[in-house]
Amino acid sequence: MKGPDTAVELNIPEIIHNYGQPMPLSQLIASLPIHPSKTSFIYRLMRILTHNGFFQHHNAIENEQEVKYELTYSSRLLIKDHPISMKSLSEFPFFPRFFKSWWEISTWFTNEDPSLFHSKNNMSFWDYVSHDPKFNHIFNDCMKTISLFTSSEVIEKCMSIKVFKGLESLVDVGGGTGTMAKVIAKSFPQLKCIVFDLPHVVANLQGTKNFEYVSGDMFEAIPSADCIMLKNVLHDWSEEESIKILDKCKQAIPSHGKVVIIEIVMEHKPEDETAIGGEQYLFDMIMMTFAGKERSEKEWANLILSAGFNNYKITPTSGLLSIIEVYP
């Protein structure tokens, strides 16, 4: 059911938040961009969302127009300015072009289209994102939120195993708007950090003293640095394309450098074994949208060695991700 997603699309959490106090249904309806013939349906939507704990109601009397609504912990997380806002995480999976791709899964199994998204939209996910500013914004915000949730476990592990010891520069390839790289730059001030992504991703973004944005294409060339980081990048791509990316990474680092891959390692137990569950398999299914996959340690080893690297080390974090240090 798309109840919470519908509430987000109609901006209901934001409207109630901005009202500043419990909001009468009549005022809420007047604030919504809905057709007059649909006003009576808002009460029914709010009723089930309240029942599920998404909103809280007051003054529940016979006159439904006087019922007042306020946010709960769950709906506060969907306010765009909340420190750990999950608004984009609720919008991205239900974006029509993405969501409807899954309607084609049985058809996709019978044809040669490279991905589910391509099967539905006749273009790759990445081509579509580059041409749709709204979806590009939602996708980048979603990646930012995921990085915020995973950054602490990644940074903690990087510190404990001294991932960046002796290194002076880092390029975060496919780093989006720079959420993870900003945390790294703050945690490891000796590193000069570059976020490297496509022009439409990093356009108009401003860097700081030891942090900057550079636009380009990772399939063509990657800026040189002691360390190249790939966080949740290679799982979006096929083996052939991933090898091409790793080859460009290898060309960009010196002999004493390394590539740091931060991704799921399938069936590799994290420090907290309760975190593994079925999430790895779910993420692997989602990667069908992009023509990518989540990889086992054996698959990572084959990929890394096929790209010309000599050695690697895998260290699990306390969550789903592992840190894979790759050496030339």
pLDDT in tens, the chain (328 residues): 556 678 878 888 889 888 888 988 988 999 998 898 988 888 888 888 888 888 888 876 666 667 888 888 777 877 777 666 666 666 676 677 777 788 878 888 889 988 888 888 888 888 888 888 888 888 888 888 777 777 778 888 888 899 999 999 999 999 988 988 998 998 999 999 999 999 988 888 888 888 999 999 999 999 999 999 999 999 999 999 999 999 999 999 999 999 999 999 987 665 555 545 577 888 888 888 888 899 999 999 999 999 999 999 999 887 788 999 999 9
Residues facing 312 on adjacent strands = 326
According to the model, what pLDDT value does residue 62 have? 65
According to the model, what pLDDT value does residue 262 have? 94
Cβ–Cβ < 8 Å for 42, 28: yes
According to the model, what pLDDT value does residue 88 have? 62
The string of DSSP letters for 17-44 reads HHH-S-EEHHHHHHHS---GGGHHHHHH
Q: Where are the alpha helices (DSSP H) in the chain?
A: 3-9, 12-19, 25-31, 39-51, 73-76, 87-91, 96-99, 105-108, 116-121, 125-131, 133-160, 179-187, 199-202, 239-252, 279-286, 297-306
Residues acting as catalytic residues: 235
Gap between the Cα atoms of 42 and 268, Å rounded: 46
Q: Scan for tokens 């993405």, then name that residue.
A: 98
H/E stretch holding 211 = strand 211-215
According to the model, what pLDDT value does residue 135 have? 83
- Number of Cα atoms under 13 Å in the Cβ half of residue 304: 23
According to the model, what pLDDT value does residue 256 have? 92
